[in-house]
């Protein structure tokens, strides 16, 4: 008989990749606020880059204010630059970006991408690559608020047409303009994964 596990303090753990700047349009900050509120209101845990600047700070503060748990993971070199959020439920200071990304991926049940810069894109492409290689089967969602990712989506379609990306690989990421619908879809997938894992463990 398997040992009884203590109940988790949160229903799901969502890594959010986003900018350390607020962006040029108020819609980006509003989106980060909506995402954070939704995570907190639904009993979730946010895993993010640990900063208090830009959209990172907005999503973390909104999650915390709505009753969610916040885990920040930040390299030593960025503690001052990104203004590490000292009041996270967990603030983990690591040696480098590789450790940050690996730990975020390990602590998350799913990944959500909202507007950000090259760091955000690099994080997205890494977990996307890992999924298509079979290193994980955690869902990935991208919120295309205010058309921010239109150019990226057009380029990804171009890579399919040019034979460098298969349609199946493109489908490994859920693209949406509706944050509430996408968040619900990601958490549904998380629940399905957890039920499947329980069934495997009981065999």
What is d(CA 118, CA 114) in angstroms, rounded to the nearest whole number?
Answer: 12
Residue 148 falls inside a structural domain: yes
Q: Kindly report, residue by residue over 131-186, the tens digit of the pLDDT.
A: 999 999 999 999 999 999 999 999 999 999 999 999 999 999 999 999 999 999 99
Could you identify the residue written with the tokens 């830009």? 54
**Quick one: how far is CA 48 from the chain centroid?**
7
pTM: 0.92
For residue 5, is pLDDT > 90?
no
Residue 110 falls inside a structural domain: yes
Phi and psi, residue 192, nearest 5°: -65, -45
Residue 126 is part of a domain; what is its CATH number? 3.40.50.450
Domain count for the chain, please give it: 1
Identify the domain containing residue 158 by its residue range. Answer: 12-202
What is d(CA 128, CA 134) in angstroms, rounded to the nearest whole number?
Answer: 10
What is d(CA 72, CA 53) in angstroms, rounded to the nearest whole number?
Answer: 13
Question: In the predicted model, what is the mean pLDDT of residues 9-19?
Answer: 95
């Amino acid at each position: 008989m398997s040992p009884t596990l203590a109940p988790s303090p949160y229903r799901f753990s969502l890594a959010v990749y986003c900018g350390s700047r607020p962006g040029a349009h108020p819609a980006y900050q509003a989106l980060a606020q909506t995402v954070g509120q939704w995570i907190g209101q639904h009993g979730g845990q946010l895993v993010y880059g640990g900063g208090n600047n830009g959209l990172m700070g907005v999503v973390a503060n909104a999650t915390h204010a709505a009753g969610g748990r916040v885990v920040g993971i930040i390299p030593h070199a960025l503690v001052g630059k990104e203004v590490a959020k000292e009041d996270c439920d967990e603030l983990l200071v690591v040696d480098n970006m590789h450790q940050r990304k690996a730990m975020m991926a390990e602590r998350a049940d799913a990944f959500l991408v909202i507007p950000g810069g090259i760091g955000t894109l690099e994080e997205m492409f890494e977990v996307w690559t890992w999924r298509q290689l079979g290193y994980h089967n955690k869902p990935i969602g991208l919120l295309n608020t205010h058309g921010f990712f239109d150019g990226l989506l057009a380029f990804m379609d171009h890579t399919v047409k040019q034979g460098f990306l298969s349609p199946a690989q493109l489908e490994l990421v859920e693209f949406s303009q509706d944050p509430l619908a996408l968040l619900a879809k990601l958490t549904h997938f998380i629940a399905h994964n957890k039920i499947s894992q329980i069934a495997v463990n009981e065999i």
